[in-house]
Structure 1
């Protein structure tokens, strides 16, 4: 029962994180660029990230904790190679998330508060690049999960 609960929590965290990044990158970003000018668009992103990133911080902790518990419960040597790939690539994703949340997002927030639109735009572009990286890495993690036996 514990394993199923951990797997459920793990999958819910992954769905929220990857789904949120996918929605933001492929839906919200183009729509906001289409209908809003930077002085409106950049505060929208700042407010969106202010809500999204703390929730994803919880999801990332749950993903890592549940994944490590499941990995160590079977033993590193007995775990499928896909699990090791998930752990390695997922760890890189967590570091990228940390850079967005702890470094780049505060810059975006500060530049928006100061109405420094070019600097805020640069920070948002950096977040966009890091989210794109995490989406690619996330696809690798999903492929590893599917291939794990």
Structure 2
């Protein structure tokens, strides 16, 4: 029962995070290309990321908590975990660090630039956000593939 609940929470949290990045990067980003670069586009992204973080920040915490809970309660720690668990753990840590940098270093500077009307600075920060999301989206997709196929590896 414990594994089922932990895994369900883990999957939902991963879906919110990776799905949110997919939507933002693959769907929304190209769609806003026709919007005037300043001030409308940065203001839109400011609203988008504000709402994104409301859902993704708790999801990231749930992923960490459920991941370690399953690692220790179900697999008995790192020694009892398969290679795919170690891969998910390593990639997940990289994703978490990139997310932390985005959320606590880049996002506040972007938000403040938009709020103060410094759209040149906002554009630079938005470019960095795009790169971080691109990398984290790729890592998230890899992690999901590893999670789904890893139990079936020889």
With the length of structure 1 as denominator, give the TM-score of the two structures: 0.95
Q: What is the aligned residue count?
A: 149
Q: C-alpha displacement at 1:79, in angstroms?
A: 1.0
Q: Which runs of 4+ in 1 moved over 3 A?
A: none
Q: C-alpha displacement at 1:38, in angstroms?
A: 2.3
In the TM superposition, what whole-angstrom CA distance separates every residue of 1:38-93 from its partner, at most 9, and x where no partner exists? 21010111111111113211000000110111111212212111011101100110
Match of 1:54 in 2: 54
Match of 1:85 in 2: 87
Distance 1:4 1:50 in 2: 31
Match of 2:27 in 1: 27
Higher mean C-alpha displacement, 16-25 vs 69-78: 69-78
1:139 to 138, 141, 147: 141
5+ residue gaps, structure 2, are none
Match of 2:67 in 1: 67
With the length of structure 2 as denominator, give the TM-score of the two structures: 0.92
5+ residue gaps, structure 1, are none
Match of 2:114 in 1: 112
Q: Does 1:103 align with 2:131?
A: no
Please give the root-mean-square deviation of Cα atoms over the aligned residues, in Å: 1.1
Q: C-alpha displacement at 1:147, in angstroms?
A: 2.9
Higher mean C-alpha displacement, 103-112 vs 70-79: 70-79
